Amino acid sequence: MDINGSVFAAMLTPMNDQGDVAPENVGVLVDHILSRGVHGLYASGSTGESVLQSREERAAVLTALADHAAGKTTLIAHVGAASTREAVALAELAGEKGYDAVSAVPPYYYKHRYEDIVAYYKAIADASGLPLIIYNIPALSGTDLSTDKLLELMEDPRIAGVKYTAQDLFQFGELKKAAPEKKLYFGTDEMFIGAAAAGADGGIGSTYNLIGDIYLAVETAIAAGDVDRARRAQRIANDFIAILLRAGVVPGLKHCLNQLGVPVGSVRAPFSPVSVEAAKELDAWMAS
């Protein structure tokens, strides 16, 4: 089963002003994201504040997304969790709800043996029956899989590829060279141009909720060999990301979308809404 498209938004999770999950607003957000040409959604990941939510809340968001968009666009469910049992339950749901693929961060908090991480991924693949994308995000997961271990994991035909949220373009290139048939999606938005030039199969990121068309422009320009055009598009993204990193990525994106009339609500504590100064900076960027 192929995964169609290359540019996917790591979807925010709509909430109300108290930080309760608001699945009823998933559809509006999805329509907004797709209106900019993005090829699909990657739900319940880091940007989706998933580690702050219960299994039931994550299931409600994944269900709302599938009910709204399954069969119409590519849907990837991030089901990663600290326990295999949680991840497997969400993987089963993704399989039942018509998702195109699942993805999972390695099990976090404890330092697990490699063999246990392999067993976790096999259990997720068995439960969903869908292609599985390993989510390599060492800075947040605490697990930094070596190139050899990532390649070893990818020998399982059910593992379709890796979502690579790190900054090591050498490792990224080595993975692509050794496993050209696997999908490698880059997740550090501010460096997408480098990954696209290094042979990425696409990108999955938080800022795609707002400016997904910019990454499509980078990808298209690199494919056409037009580095200047790619650089100009990445510059637009990076001017925004520089502000966003000061504001806080998830609160900042939610602020911008709310300002545009897309009701994504507030963030869940310990995240807090953007400061007055950050809001002014973001508003000025949007106005420009």
End-to-end CA distance of the chain: 42
| Under rule CB under 6 A, residue 249 binds ligand NGF | yes
Which 132-171 residues touch ligand NGF, going by CB under 6 A? 139-140, 165
Whichever of 73 and 206 has its CB closer to ligand NGF, that residue is: 206
Question: Nearest approach, Cβ of 244 to ligand NGF (angstroms)?
Answer: 7
**CA-CA distance, 235 to 232, in Å (whole number)?**
5
Binding mask 83-122 for ligand NGF (x = CB under 6 A): ----------------------------------------
Which of these ranges, 31-39, 185-193, 194-202, 262-270, lies near ligand NGF under the rule CB under 6 A?
A: 185-193
Which of these ranges, 44-52, 59-67, 149-157, 223-231, lies near ligand NGF under the rule CB under 6 A?
A: 44-52
- Mark whether 163 is an active-site residue: yes
The neighbour count for residue 196, using CB atoms within 10 Å, is 23
| Under rule CB under 6 A, residue 188 binds ligand NGF | yes
Interface size with ligand NGF, residues (CB under 6 A): 19
Give the residue among 25, 50, 24, 31 at the shortest CA–CA distance from 102. 50
Q: Which of 135, 185, 208, 215 is catalytic?
A: 135
Which of these ranges, 118-126, 168-176, 201-209, 278-286, lies near ligand NGF under the rule CB under 6 A?
A: 201-209
Classify 9 as helix, strand or coil. Answer: strand
CA 193 to chain centre: 17
- Contacts of residue 110, Cβ cutoff 8 Å, sequence gap at least 6: 82
Alpha helices in the chain (DSSP H): 26-34, 55-69, 84-96, 114-128, 138-141, 147-154, 169-178, 192-197, 208-223, 227-247, 249-259, 276-287
φ and ψ at 252, to 5 degrees?
Answer: -65, -45
Which of these ranges, 23-31, 46-54, 64-72, 272-280, lies near ligand NGF under the rule CB under 6 A?
A: 46-54
- Mark whether 109 is an active-site residue: no
- Contacts of residue 1, Cβ cutoff 8 Å, sequence gap at least 6: 100, 130, 131
Site of interaction with ligand NGF (CB under 6 A): 10, 45-48, 78, 139-140, 165, 187-190, 204-207, 241, 249
